[in-house]
Amino acid sequence: MIKLFITGTDTNIGKTYISVGLLEEFSKLGLATLGMKPLSSGCYTENDKLISPDALALRKASSVKLEYKLINPFAFKQAIAPHIAAKQENCYLTKKKIEQAMLRMLSIPSDLTIIEGVGGWCTPINEDELMSDVITSMKLPVILVVGLKLGCLNHSILTAQAIKEAKLPFIGWIGNCIDPSMQAMSENIETLKFLLPAPCLGIVPYGHKLGHLNLEPMFRHCL
């Protein structure tokens, strides 16, 4: 069973877009796939339940269909930092609660389970714990989505250093071109390829689907 955690250099850089694309690519290979977003904010209400568009997209792209609550166990209305959103709704998030929800999901049979993070690597879940603490404790392999825009070099290098310090398998990174007017994009991509301690799994042009990805490192590290 392949288990992958998808983190990003920031919020709104295409983690869901890439996660959905990976689920679709692995499904094309005939694998049973599952996508999960344990924690989400900025949700809407439907039938008295809070729903995350990101979690819905993951559910739709998964070949194994599950009830929504398993895919997105912690959902909050306000589009703000999840620990603040949770506090406003009288919910106290903890590393243990999130781990338990993720372990329930990981116990469901599949060939590939993708867990999408919230925000960036160091997103707080309460005053003392970060989402990265959950992933470090569970020793999950990590893929980094780099939002290709001005500032991505600094964000990418800092995130990669944090993943390395956590002693987690850093499978690789995917560049997602979110700013079509970014200057010196190719030079930035080459810098990332040189400086990041993991292979580039692919570059997604602005407005395009995933296209060709190097899936081999995912199989090699996770099987």
Instruction: State how far the Cα of 152 lies from the Cα of 164, in Å rounded to an integer.
Output: 18
The identity of residue 172, as a single letter, is: G
Q: Which residue is catalytic, options 3, 15, 37, 95?
A: 37
Strands 33-36 and 142-148, sheet pairing: unpaired
DSSP single-letter state for residue 51? E
CA 48 to chain centroid: 27
192, 165 in Cβ contact below 8 A?
no
Report the 10 Å Cβ neighbour count for 47: 5
37 is catalytic: yes
Q: Which token pair is 37?
A: 């977003």
Instruction: State how far the Cα of 90 lies from the Cα of 221, in Å rounded to an integer.
Output: 40
Give catalytic residue positions. 37
